[in-house]
Homo-oligomer: A and B are copies of this chain.
Amino acid sequence: MAPPHALSATNLLSLFCFFILLATQTADAKIKRYKWEVNYQFKSPDCYKKLAIAINGRTPGPTILAQQGDTVIVELKNSLVTENIAIHWHGIRQIGSPWSDGTEGVSQCPILPGDTFVYKFVVDRPGTYMYHAHYGMQREAGLFGSLRVSVPDGVSEPFTYDFDRSIILSDWWHKSTYEQSAGLSSLPFQWVNEPESLLIQGRGRFNCSTLGPSTNGVCNSTSPDCSPYFITVVPGKTYRLRIASLTSLSALSFKIEGHNMTVVESDGHYVEPFVTDNLFIYSGETYSVLVKADQDPSRNYWAATNVVSREPKTPPGLAIFNYYPNHPRKPPPTPPPTGPMWNDTEARLAQSLRIKSHQGYIHPPPLTSDRVIILLNTQNKINGYTRWSVNNMSFTLPHTPYLVALKENLTNAFDQSPPPDTYDYKNYDIYSVANNTNATSTNSIYRLKFNSTVDIILQNANTLNENNSETHPWHLHGHDFWVLGHGKGKFDPENDPKKYNLADPIMKNTVAVQPYGWTALRFKADNPGAWAFHCHIEAHFYLGMGVVLEEGVEMLGELPQSIMGCGLTRGGSH
């Protein structure tokens, strides 16, 4: 191969962009069309029969397999009886299609029973993504699946593997999402409790015998729904496992007994590879790990996921790493690997700090930002109801989507006054229960200057309980952000920015802030639309832990009628 002396770095970049463009615009770019129907089905993912929201009869739903530059079209029919739906394409930035983000109250009205909504978007970046309900707490009912974008033909990735598999990790409750959300909205507050089971690709195993002798056929350990998921591997081959967490609550560890994993991608960005025997993963994150089937092939191995960050009251989720030609149901001869200490925050922080951009794929961040927003994460009370807040504002979605309200200037749709850019960081003690635990309810939003660079610092703090601070995985819609830093204690706006990693920060769409810690991220406000940024724990966002950002909505053309029909846009009467 000739040395690239004739090509400057800039030229190389141009060439790279050209190929990207080519990939998205030539005949290679395909239309991937899906017809999905959503309804309730009785499922027994952990042997306990309960209602799940299924797509075409399945939960997790069908995996979308596309190639960079493809246009994905999903015709989504709502066949629920009385309930609306909306589906978010998690990690897809929706450049030029902010109305397809699938976030009820932000990018669209909900889809009514009997209606078919057409989501259409370009998958402009290869990587590991997912989709899930973004309305009420429906995600928790199993309405989710995998979305995998491969590189264009002829483009190679900075690692090789033989086979590619998608695996969703999730947590599962036996109570309905109605019971859970009603409990959260009750006085006194009724917490959803810890999940009964952890699922690997929609399968787990609840111990039916704990329910007593008669379970009325509700819990059946012989149900085919709950036979363990297995990953069949051919000895000597390397597998790319695309692991996505769609837990509603739990932070997880993931191990494959006796095997190391090489982390190579996260949220659609290549990671400078590192080897680990344990992967921490938070709700809303995805990771690609490479696993070589290089162990004794005469037996099977456990794949195990465990709860971390909260005291585990849920048994591990188990799957079988099945060496061909052993029977996939042949139990491994050894006990499943135990998870790491649930409360070892240091170990989890260490992984976060370890994740950096692959050296050959660095997107350099802007060196400075135009605006810094510090978001204090707290648990609060409003009129006695338990809520979560940022900067003492507890977020409530309006019933007119922001995207429409902003574009069509419906100023009555939400509170027009801006929420605060910071909190009283000099005086606030993040290690104690707040002196005044009251918060305010709001639906006001952060309006960003188009193309400006914005820093957001997530500042964690004590909850309403003494000596307690939780882990919150925050997810940003419509953008990736650079993860500039993680720290312990209270963020110091003077000195901590000096320690930012501006050299090789990973880009992500979801990042955790650890107990009593902070996380700093930076992004370009370069995608016209209205975008949610929120804790990905289902109950936390439901209880107000989120914000909405806007930029450049005035640059958008006419919005599709299909996203309207609720709130001030009902019946086209706006």
A-side residues, CB < 8 A to B, are: 39-42, 51, 81-85, 109-110, 112-115, 135-138, 176, 178-179, 181-183, 185-186, 190, 212, 214, 398-399, 561-562, 564-567, 569-573
Q: A566 to chain B: which residues have CB within 8 Å?
A: 112, 114-115, 565
Whole-angstrom distance between the Cβ of A414 and the nearest chain B Cβ? 12
Return the contact of A84 from the options B84, B137, B138, B181 (Cβ within 8 A).
Answer: B84
A181–B567 CA distance with the chains assembled, in angstroms: 28
Whole-angstrom distance between the Cβ of A143 and the nearest chain B Cβ? 11
Whole-angstrom distance between the Cβ of A206 and the nearest chain B Cβ? 15
Return the contact of A42 from the options B83, B115, B183, B567 (Cβ within 8 A).
Answer: B183
Return the contact of A82 from the options B41, B138, B179 (Cβ within 8 A).
Answer: B138
A562–B566 CA distance with the chains assembled, in angstroms: 11
Q: Is the pair B112, A82 in contact by a Cβ cutoff of 8 Å?
A: no
CB-CB nearest 8 A-B residue pairs: A572-B572, A114-B399, A82-B136, A81-B136, A40-B182, A561-B571, A565-B571, A564-B571
Whole-angstrom distance between the Cβ of A150 and the nearest chain B Cβ? 34
Q: Is the pair B178, A115 in contact by a Cβ cutoff of 8 Å?
A: no
Q: Is the pair B110, A110 in contact by a Cβ cutoff of 8 Å?
A: no
Dominant secondary structure of chain A at its interface with chain B: loop
Measured CB to CB, the nearest residue on chain B to A85 is: B82
Whole-angstrom distance between the Cβ of A217 and the nearest chain B Cβ? 11
Return the contact of A179 from the options B51, B182, B183 (Cβ within 8 A).
Answer: B51
Whole-angstrom distance between the Cβ of A428 and the nearest chain B Cβ? 32
A387–B39 CA distance with the chains assembled, in angstroms: 18
Q: A81 to chain B: which residues have CB within 8 Å?
A: 136-137, 178, 181
Whole-angstrom distance between the Cβ of A35 and the nearest chain B Cβ? 18
Whole-angstrom distance between the Cβ of A179 and the nearest chain B Cβ? 6
Q: Is the pair A115, B570 in contact by a Cβ cutoff of 8 Å?
A: yes
This protein's copies in its complex: 2
Q: Is the pair A399, B112 in contact by a Cβ cutoff of 8 Å?
A: yes
List 19 extra interface pairs beyond A42-B186, A176-B176, CB under 8 A: A39-B185, A40-B182, A42-B179, A42-B183, A81-B137, A82-B83, A82-B135, A82-B136, A82-B138, A110-B113, A112-B567, A114-B566, A115-B566, A212-B212, A561-B570, A562-B570, A564-B571, A565-B566, A572-B572
Measured CB to CB, the nearest residue on chain B to A398 is: B114
Whole-angstrom distance between the Cβ of A386 and the nearest chain B Cβ? 16
Return the contact of A83 from the options B51, B83, B190 (Cβ within 8 A).
Answer: B83
Q: A40 to chain B: which residues have CB within 8 Å?
A: 178, 181-182, 185
Q: Is the pair A51, B565 in contact by a Cβ cutoff of 8 Å?
A: no
Measured CB to CB, the nearest residue on chain B to A562 is: B571
Measured CB to CB, the nearest residue on chain B to A399 is: B114
A399–B117 CA distance with the chains assembled, in angstroms: 14
Whole-angstrom distance between the Cβ of A142 and the nearest chain B Cβ? 13
Q: Is the pair B567, A114 in contact by a Cβ cutoff of 8 Å?
A: yes
Q: A112 to chain B: which residues have CB within 8 Å?
A: 84, 109-110, 112, 399, 566-567, 570
A339–B351 CA distance with the chains assembled, in angstroms: 70
Whole-angstrom distance between the Cβ of A480 and the nearest chain B Cβ? 29
Q: A567 to chain B: which residues have CB within 8 Å?
A: 112, 114-115
A561–B41 CA distance with the chains assembled, in angstroms: 35
Measured CB to CB, the nearest residue on chain B to A572 is: B572
Q: A138 to chain B: which residues have CB within 8 Å?
A: 82
Q: A110 to chain B: which residues have CB within 8 Å?
A: 82, 112-113
Q: Is the pair A51, B115 in contact by a Cβ cutoff of 8 Å?
A: no
Q: Is the pair A399, B182 in contact by a Cβ cutoff of 8 Å?
A: no
11 A-B residue pairs with CB within 8 Å: A41-B186, A51-B178, A82-B83, A82-B84, A82-B136, A84-B113, A114-B567, A115-B399, A115-B567, A178-B178, A562-B571
A315–B81 CA distance with the chains assembled, in angstroms: 31
Whole-angstrom distance between the Cβ of A284 and the nearest chain B Cβ? 20
Q: A176 to chain B: which residues have CB within 8 Å?
A: 51, 176, 178
A109–B41 CA distance with the chains assembled, in angstroms: 25
Q: A186 to chain B: which residues have CB within 8 Å?
A: 41-42
Q: A562 to chain B: which residues have CB within 8 Å?
A: 570-571
A573–B42 CA distance with the chains assembled, in angstroms: 36
Whole-angstrom distance between the Cβ of A570 and the nearest chain B Cβ? 5
Measured CB to CB, the nearest residue on chain B to A400 is: B114
A114–B565 CA distance with the chains assembled, in angstroms: 13
Whole-angstrom distance between the Cβ of A255 and the nearest chain B Cβ? 33
Measured CB to CB, the nearest residue on chain B to A41 is: B182
Q: A178 to chain B: which residues have CB within 8 Å?
A: 40, 51, 81, 176, 178
Whole-angstrom distance between the Cβ of A383 and the nearest chain B Cβ? 15
Q: A84 to chain B: which residues have CB within 8 Å?
A: 82-84, 112-113
Whole-angstrom distance between the Cβ of A88 and the nearest chain B Cβ? 14
Measured CB to CB, the nearest residue on chain B to A574 is: B572
Q: A561 to chain B: which residues have CB within 8 Å?
A: 570-571, 573
A562–B567 CA distance with the chains assembled, in angstroms: 11
